[in-house]
Amino acid sequence: MKIGPKYKIARRLGPIFEKTQTQKFAIAQERSTPKGKRPKQHTEYGKQLLEKQKVRLTYGLSERQFGNYVEEAMTTKGSTPVDTLHRLLETRLDNVVYRLGLAPTRRAARQMVSHGHITVNGTKTTVPSRRVALTDRIAVRGGSKSAGYFVSFEEKFMERQLPSWLSWNPKDMEGGLSDMPNAENAPVAGDLIAVLSFYSR
């Protein structure tokens, strides 16, 4: 999916891309805002639109993909729409690969899956949007373990903190979900209530 100029988008929505989550960007953002100038006031609709764009672009989804997730969240019974939407977004295979630290960004994780480097339950998959269940086992394909980013991954893995809802065996390069993601164990990308309100208009 073509996103557009990331720095320009980030100046409007915040540092939603990894390349803009730096001190250099924060300083540039501060310098570009004239001192004493009041920030632009958005209408309620404008605020909801910004939150929708922020969450959608954080996960790298098209308008249609994101709209489908919202529709499913609002029609699924058994949990609140906010919890359901958050779970649907976090359990995408590309997001899980990113959360596991197998890729430095969600975009890289999507590419990693698309190129066939990841297996689910022993079978190679090339579908980044595949939904990961608690019983699924995610692993790096055997032929990919000695190539590119996966070289010395065990050492790289020890340097980061794994989210509590995920498990990973760095030696076997296999893992999965140990729990379902929620607002407490997985950071929320934005105001999902505002997002749902935007689509409820």
Report residue 52: phi and psi, to 5°. -60, -45
87 domain-assigned: no
Whole-angstrom distance, CA of residue 138 vs CA of residue 175 = 5
Same-domain check for residues 96 and 173: yes
Same-domain check for residues 113 and 161: yes
183 domain-assigned: no
Q: How far is CA 135 from CA 22, 72, 85, 88, 95, in A?
A: 37, 22, 20, 16, 17
Q: What letters, b where the CB count within 10 A reaches 16 and e where it falls short, cover 72-99?
A: ebeeeeeeebbbbbbbbbbbbbbbbbbb
Mean pLDDT by 10 residues, the chain (201 residues): 55 59 57 58 88 94 96 95 97 96 91 96 97 97 83 68 92 94 92 95 82
Is residue 150 within 8 A of residue 19, CB to CB? The reply is no
Domain region containing 19: 6-32+41-81+188-199
The domain tally of the chain equals 2
User: What's the CATH code of the domain at 49?
Assistant: 1.10.1050.10
Give the DSSP H or E segment for 10.
Answer: helix 6-13
145 domain-assigned: yes
Same-domain check for residues 103 and 168: yes
Is residue 54 within 8 A of residue 16, CB to CB? The reply is yes
Same-domain check for residues 105 and 168: yes
Whole-angstrom distance, CA of residue 150 vs CA of residue 146 = 6
86 domain-assigned: no
Same-domain check for residues 171 and 96: yes
User: What's the CATH code of the domain at 101?
Assistant: 3.10.290.10
pLDDT of residue 148: 72
- In DSSP terms, 118 is beta-bridged to 140
Same-domain check for residues 157 and 115: yes
138 domain-assigned: yes
125 domain-assigned: yes
Same-domain check for residues 96 and 55: no
pLDDT of residue 8: 57
131 domain-assigned: yes
DSSP one-letter code for 39: P
Same-domain check for residues 171 and 114: yes
Same-domain check for residues 105 and 173: yes
User: Which of 77-84's residues contact partners 24+ apart within 8 Å by CB, and which partners?
Assistant: 81/196, 82/183, 82/192, 82/193, 82/196, 83/182, 83/183
pLDDT of residue 4: 54
